[in-house]
Chains A and B, each alone.
Chain A
Amino acid sequence: MSSIVPQGVAASDFSNALDEFAGVVGKDRVYVDEQPLSSYRDAYSPLADGEFLPSAAVAPEGVEQIKKILKIANAYKIPIWTIGTGRNFAYGGPAPRKSGYVMLDLRRMNRIIEVNEKYGYALVEPGVSYMQLYRHLRAIGSKLWIDPAAPAWGGVMGNALEHGAGYTPYGDHFTMQCGMEVVLADGEVIRTGQGALAGSKHWQVTKHAAGPQFDGMFTQSNFGVVTKMGIWLMPEPPGYKPFMITYEREEDLEAIFEITRPLKVNQIIPNAAVAVDLLWEVSAKTTRRHYFDGKGPLPQSIRKQIASDHKLGMWNYYGALYGPPPIIENNWKIVEDALMSIPGAKLYLDRENDPAWDYRVRLMRGEPNMTEFSIMNWIGGGGHVNFSPLLAPNGSEALAQYNLIKSRCHDHGFDYIGEFLVGWRDMHHILMIMYDRADEAMRKGAYDLFGVLVAEAAESGFGEYRTHLAFMDQIAKTYKHNDGALWDLHQRIKDVMDPNGILSPGKQGIWPKSMRTTS
């Protein structure tokens, strides 16, 4: 049995709470031993071993059990940490924000409650993965696509709640969610939007209802336990044309996004087009040790060799067109003329024996896969943490941010490995800091680099859209407008909705009153 007890909770109270949890879900669904609890670790943690370990886990099968669990947690003031599928790797995986929390593991709640072919949506529970939904749609003969995040085992609901992104035209997952059911800390169950209307048939077809919209409040937060969520699904288009264009120079990034902005804003390119740097792109095909055995960032001469060997650019741009073939061909002329106007650009409409091309093409047509994990072979040892600042779809801004981040990576002895995804009016920049988990100095270097990047990005006006557990507090503090008024609001809401502070304390830097001085 784990020797960890939640902070501030007497051992006898904790023991009583576990007994009562067992009374709700059954003894075999309350986990206290090392083996089951080991699966709640962050396999890629940038912290030393022994951080962020749970004391126990409880796995309910439905809303009624969750209500009872929350009642017990309130009675004993037990902090609980909610996970859906627990696959948020690079951002902490299933691990809790602090050691000692009890995991509220919702993986048993994995029902696909409804698929609506006519209106194009699904209603799912927290434990439904992308692969599960994809297989279900294929099994029932649906003509709807999903929009998966890169790893197929990720949760449909969890990724949307974390503001995750995909690669089809439905790539902004929070935008594509429609209607939630939420259990509040006091056990009350609410439904958002039209779901609040008894007997409504429009819960998943419109986000709008009388009164304020609360859906966003339950994303990247700790104000409730989301137990059902609607997600819009894209009807299979009659045509699909993926493409890749390689660009020779790092400085081409500026022109790439000056050209992309009007194409994206006007929906000529409807999906989340992405510019992938050389090393991210090649890491699905080879490893660093095949080219360089030294420490520090790769020399430029080797980067050029890699680009030549694998027919890649310093930037590798993926996008796709969708719809009736005549429309695709019409829009393709516009896209090709624009994006191929950059000197040295090379166009690919197919690439043989290229796993990177294969997985991107699959993702852009809504086929989940696990290939992206292969890129962790670049360094080996699997460690990675993602630094994810936002910016506008603006070429000079993208280049400035790239140069800043690349420079700091090199200062700390790391390669820049990243990509830019363009959304409706924004861009997500994902820097993957890779390290060998067995190399303590490298792991520590990755941690230090991340902290520096957060601070310097904020000084330059760039905030992150999502982050690893270890950096939630630091990033929360970068949102400084009016002396941090927004996070003050979050915490005021937290104190009202969850006065005992039981729900995921510290999630996104939102701490309950009782833990603010000790966090």
Chain B
Amino acid sequence: MMTWYLRRRDVLGAGALGTAAVGLDTLARFEPGRSRTVTVVEESGVPESRQFASALIDSGFAGEVIRIDQSLNGLLHELEATTGTVIGMTSDPVAMIAGQLLGERGAHARQFWQHHYAGGRWGHRTEGSVRLIENTTHAWPVAIAHQLQSAIGSRSRQFPNACTSGACALVVSSPGMLVSWVHEFEGYQS
């Protein structure tokens, strides 16, 4: 049984271990199926994307990772061979390109959650519980990673929610508007 692995630097980066850890032990657990291939797309220049991908890799949820540099060329080269579930937290342009390429190959769009920074706060539009995300400060991509893996295979109403923690900043290399998304090829629905 895997446990959700919140890495130390994620928590320390948030500067609030107690806040970031709220509710972790109540989160759903994912047990990788033998036939499932999960590939996470990491936009390496985007810190939130790296956090999100690390969470999925460290937890064992994602077995493959595609790292995309600023040229974005890797999307053209490496998405060609993907199967199963493809997941990412990326900038909107990368989400669009990936969605277009995967859709043309027959993948179904499953989840599309949005995260944007405005008025000095991160705001999210997600499915499921909002409480954890509201309080995770800089570790919110880790919380999203976990929440998203729980949501795959079902689709429920989306709720807007905003960061309510004391520390909610936009790092220089973040685009400030991100999308977490899931595409699945037929035969791989959860």
Q: Which positions in A face B, CB cutoff 8 Å? A: 35-36, 38-39, 43-44, 107, 129, 131, 152-153, 284, 286-287, 289-290, 293, 355, 358-359, 362, 368-371, 373-374, 376-377, 380-382, 436, 438
The answer to whether B91 and A289 have CB atoms under 8 Å apart is no
Extra pairs beyond A374-B72, A380-B177, A436-B177 (4, CB < 8 Å): A129-B76, A289-B177, A293-B118, A368-B73
The answer to whether B93 and A376 have CB atoms under 8 Å apart is yes
CA distance A408 to B137 in the complex (A): 40
Distance in angstroms from B161 CB to nearest chain A CB is 16
The answer to whether A370 and B73 have CB atoms under 8 Å apart is yes
Residues of A within 8 A of B73 (CB): 131, 152, 368-370
The answer to whether B104 and A289 have CB atoms under 8 Å apart is no
The answer to whether B175 and A438 have CB atoms under 8 Å apart is no
The answer to whether A374 and B93 have CB atoms under 8 Å apart is yes
Residues of B within 8 A of A355 (CB): 70
Distance in angstroms from B11 CB to nearest chain A CB is 25
CA distance A374 to B175 in the complex (A): 9
Of A129, A358, A359, A380, which contacts B176 at CB under 8 A? A380
8 A Cβ contacts from B93-129 to A: 93-94, 96-97, 99-100, 103-104, 106, 108-109, 114, 116-120
> Beyond A35-B103, A289-B170, is A377–B119 a contact (Cβ under 8 Å)?
no
Residues of A within 8 A of B170 (CB): 289-290
B172 lies within 8 A of chain A by Cβ: yes
The answer to whether A376 and B92 have CB atoms under 8 Å apart is yes
Residues of A within 8 A of B116 (CB): 380-381
CA distance A290 to B175 in the complex (A): 9
CB-nearest residue of chain B to A289: B176
CA distance A43 to B93 in the complex (A): 10
The answer to whether A373 and B108 have CB atoms under 8 Å apart is no
CA distance A369 to B119 in the complex (A): 34
The answer to whether B92 and A374 have CB atoms under 8 Å apart is no
CB-nearest residue of chain A to B102: A39
The answer to whether A373 and B97 have CB atoms under 8 Å apart is yes
CA distance A327 to B172 in the complex (A): 42
Main secondary structure of the interface of B (DSSP, over half): mixed
The answer to whether B76 and A287 have CB atoms under 8 Å apart is no
> Beyond A290-B176, A370-B76, A380-B92, is A438–B114 a contact (Cβ under 8 Å)?
yes
Chain B's interface size range is 20 to 34
Of B71, B117, B119, B176, which contacts A370 at CB under 8 A? B71
The answer to whether B70 and A373 have CB atoms under 8 Å apart is no
Of B70, B75, B93, B117, which contacts A289 at CB under 8 A? B117
Of A38, A370, A436, which contacts B75 at CB under 8 A? A370
The answer to whether B71 and A377 have CB atoms under 8 Å apart is no
CB-nearest residue of chain B to A44: B96
CA distance A38 to B102 in the complex (A): 11
CB-nearest residue of chain A to B171: A290
Of A39, A371, A381, which contacts B70 at CB under 8 A? A371
CA distance A374 to B106 in the complex (A): 25
The answer to whether A359 and B71 have CB atoms under 8 Å apart is yes
Residues of A within 8 A of B75 (CB): 370
CA distance A38 to B99 in the complex (A): 10
Residues of A within 8 A of B177 (CB): 287, 289, 377, 380-381, 436
The answer to whether B118 and A289 have CB atoms under 8 Å apart is yes
Residues of A within 8 A of B100 (CB): 39, 43
The answer to whether A153 and B93 have CB atoms under 8 Å apart is no
The answer to whether A382 and B76 have CB atoms under 8 Å apart is no
The answer to whether A382 and B103 have CB atoms under 8 Å apart is no
Residues of A within 8 A of B76 (CB): 129, 131, 152-153, 370
CA distance A33 to B106 in the complex (A): 11
CA distance A358 to B73 in the complex (A): 13
The answer to whether B92 and A377 have CB atoms under 8 Å apart is yes
CA distance A290 to B171 in the complex (A): 9
Distance in angstroms from B176 CB to nearest chain A CB is 4
CA distance A286 to B171 in the complex (A): 10
Q: List 23 A-B contacts (CB under 8 A).
A: A35-B103, A35-B106, A43-B99, A107-B104, A286-B172, A287-B175, A289-B176, A362-B71, A368-B73, A369-B72, A370-B72, A370-B73, A370-B76, A371-B72, A373-B94, A376-B92, A380-B92, A380-B116, A380-B177, A381-B92, A382-B93, A436-B177, A438-B114
Interface centre among A38, A129, A152, A374, by most B CB within 10 Å?
A: A374
Of A39, A287, A371, A382, which contacts B71 at CB under 8 A? A371
CA distance A359 to B73 in the complex (A): 11
CB-CB nearest 6 A-B residue pairs: A380-B177, A370-B72, A373-B93, A377-B175, A39-B103, A382-B92
CA distance A392 to B98 in the complex (A): 38
The answer to whether B96 and A382 have CB atoms under 8 Å apart is yes
